Chain A
Amino acid sequence: MTVPDAPDMPATPKARSPFSEAFEMFRRNHAAVVAVVVLAAILLIAIFGPYLYPGDPFDMVWAPFTPPGRDGFLLGTDYLGRDMLSLLIHGARVSITIGLAAAFVTVTIGITVGALAGFWRGWVEEALMRLTEFFQVLPTPLFSMVIDALLGASLPMITLAIGLVSWPAVARITRAEFLRIRELEYVTAARAGGVRSGSLIFRVILPNALPPIIVQAALMVGSAILFEAGLSFLGLTDPNVASWGQIIGSNRQYILDASYTVTVPGLAIFVTVLCISLVGDGLNDALNPKLRRR
């Protein structure tokens, strides 16, 4: 007895790794690709720019309020005769470092709280979610202004202050993902196989919960840069370190004489955060393909 011929099957496409699939999805979002390029340029400036413009950006180098383009100062000078371009380049490093570090603090606290709440349920969840709500009631900028002003406005303290007030959003997303995933079959299987809680949380559930968290983390970098800019605009930062917000804050009184000292650093913040949010959108497309059709 012969086996009947199998009907002609269409050639199955070669299975692709999740990474190349995600990359393909990301590549289709043109705005995100452009944003990645711009961000890369900004990062390069932040990393290598200070070597091109060595020296203290706070040094007075020319007559105050030299308009952009005159006397070889591409972006002009501010009210103390400091080179705006140099300030901006040195500020890029500070603003972006704080953005990244604060986002790291935010995500670390958020994942820890969210994962514990979503995994253990019961009173742990109750207590942690109440804590999260508590932090959402606090008026965040005021709260971090206070932390900032009281613990000293050094850069690490600012980073910590931003991280301490921003984590609830990450915690909520993480918890929601954990609540969903912990009921899935592969988790039950792992549990039945005797996997201990620790590795269940970090090895089984967390990797599968990561996509929305990564997107949120990307957005958090942008929010943290905005947050830092706001704090330093108010003057609640280390006055001896140039950051984009700090440049705006210190030149604010002079918008009549020289609006570029305020508009240009603002533009730098705007472009950076805009690109970060576009990349976040792209990551969302890439990592959550199910949502893509919306």
Chain B
Amino acid sequence: MGLVIILAQRVMYAALLLIAVLVLNFTMINLAPGDVADTIAASMGGADAELMARIRADYSLDQPFPVQLGRYVLRVLSFDLGESYFYNRPVTDLIFERLPATLLLVVSAQLLALVAGILLGVFSARNPNGLLSHVVTLFALFGYAAPVFWTGILLLIAFSLKVPIFPVAGMVDVTVSGGWFVKALDIAHHLVLPMVTLASIFIALYSRLCRASMLEVLGSDYVRTARAKGLTPREVTLKHALKNALPPVVTLAGLQFSAVISGAVLVETVFSWPGLGQLALTAILARDTPTILGILFFSALVVVVGNLVTDLVLRMIDPRVRGK
């Protein structure tokens, strides 16, 4: 009962946030000098005032700003993001074409980072002055300081050019034919490098936090009790310590969704991964307003949904949150 109400509140709040995102984006883009009519005119090699006016009328750019804004918000709420100026296709089509690739990259990188981060954190916390602990510290520093596109390029040089184990770019190899399983393997093969690159930042983050959190929990009274009653170190670590050390890590992971998407834009560019980031870059360079707005909206949506999911997971693994 309580859960349903809380969930409904959260969803309402998320919806309000998204509408605010829409308003801000639309305002910002309209404040900028130059519009699509200029771009079209430039690509045609110039246009006279009459033609410019016609282009503006075609794209409803001659309406007053509040009218344009209101129309836009209403249209988005009915899942219509308009027509791309650049591709001459509905923006929703463009986005849904690219969204799976980005989601695949973002979700797999986030999962890899969580699993690897937690494992590294747990093992290094068992021996705070051991070799693994130092490795985690070093890795955390690297993950923070290395520009993600540089990490990507280094991996690309190492594992695609010098030792060609993985493909250089793209998501599918057109020469590969076969059943869905072969195709899935092909995509997975292409996914490895981008996923590892993107995850590297977050592995560093999560392993560091997980290590600190584990160290704190391992010093607490109930862990001493668990040890005193004769549980094996493995049982103590997994059943008593990890369970309590996990919530901060999950919370942090939830807050990182926006950062993961940010990183994805760069990683997609390095590996020519056909996702939203690539689309966004093209759209920005072409001043394709509807497409940019659509992508911003969808990435905000992914972040908001990611936060909601984190909230739910947190409620499942941490009874203390449920009380609140």
Contact = CB atoms under 8 A, between A and B. Distances in A.
Nearest to B257: A139
B147 A229 contact: yes
Given A255-B153, A263-B153, A139 B29 contact: no
A273 B142 CA distance: 10
B16 to A, nearest CB: 9
Q: Ordered nearest first, which 6 A-B pairs have the shortest CB separation?
A: A266-B150, A150-B32, A141-B262, A274-B145, A273-B145, A139-B299
Contacts of A248: 147, 149-150, 153
Looking at B145, B266, B281, the one whose CB has the most chain A CB atoms below 10 A away is B145
Contact of B300 (A137, A149, A234, A255): A137
A143 B296 contact: yes
A269 interface: yes
21 contacts: A137-B258, A137-B307, A138-B303, A139-B300, A140-B259, A142-B280, A142-B296, A147-B28, A150-B32, A226-B145, A233-B147, A233-B266, A234-B266, A234-B281, A248-B150, A248-B153, A266-B146, A273-B147, A274-B141, A276-B145, A294-B215
A277 B204 CA distance: 14
A218 B265 CA distance: 26
Interface string A104-142: 000000000000000000000000000001101111111
Interface string A253-285: 001100100110010011101101110000000
A150 B145 contact: no
A222 interface: yes
Contacts, number: 129
B285 A269 contact: no
A245 interface: yes
Interface of A: 133-134, 136-143, 145-147, 149-151, 222, 226, 229-230, 233-236, 245, 248, 252, 255-256, 259, 262-263, 266, 269-271, 273-274, 276-278, 294
Contacts of B261: 139, 141-142
B303 A270 contact: no
What DSSP secondary structure best describes chain B's contact surface? helix
Contacts of A140: 258-259, 262
A222 B143 CA distance: 13
A63 B9 CA distance: 64
A263 B258 contact: no
A270 B145 contact: yes
A255 B169 CA distance: 13
A180 to B, nearest CB: 19
B255 A136 contact: yes
B159 to A, nearest CB: 13
Contact of A266 (B147, B265, B269): B147
A151 B141 contact: no
A139 B269 CA distance: 17
B157 interface: yes
Interface of B: 17, 20-21, 24-25, 28-29, 31-32, 141-142, 144-150, 153-154, 156-157, 161, 212, 215, 255, 258-259, 261-262, 265-266, 269-270, 280-281, 284-285, 287, 292, 295-296, 299-300, 303-304, 307
Given A143-B296, A255-B153, A263-B154, A230 B28 contact: no
Chain A residues touching B, majority SS: helix
Contacts of B212: 294
A270 B258 contact: no
Nearest to A249: B149
Contact of B21 (A138, A147, A230, A233): A138
Given A138-B303, A146-B25, A245-B147, 12 more contacts: A139-B262, A140-B262, A141-B261, A142-B261, A142-B262, A142-B299, A150-B29, A233-B266, A248-B153, A263-B154, A273-B144, A276-B145
B284 A230 contact: no
Given A145-B284, A245-B147, A255-B161, A137 B28 contact: no
Nearest to A223: B144
A289 to B, nearest CB: 18
Contacts of A233: 147, 149, 266, 269
A256 B280 CA distance: 27
A138 B258 contact: yes
Contacts of B156: 255
A262 B141 CA distance: 21
User: Most chain-B Cβ atoms within 10 A of its Cβ — which of A141, A226, A235, A277?
Assistant: A141
Contacts of A142: 261-262, 265, 280, 295-296, 299
Contacts of B145: 222, 226, 270-271, 273-274, 276-277
B161 A256 contact: yes
Contacts of B147: 226, 229-230, 233, 245, 248, 266, 269-270, 273
A150 B304 CA distance: 25
A139 B161 contact: no
Contacts of A256: 161
Residue from A143, A146, A222, A294 having most chain B Cβ neighbours under 10 A = A146
A229 B307 CA distance: 28
A166 B175 CA distance: 44
B150 A269 contact: yes
A273 B284 CA distance: 28
A259 B296 contact: no
A284 to B, nearest CB: 13
Nearest to B269: A234
Contact of B296 (A139, A226, A229, A276): A139
B153 A262 contact: yes
Contacts of A234: 265-266, 269, 281
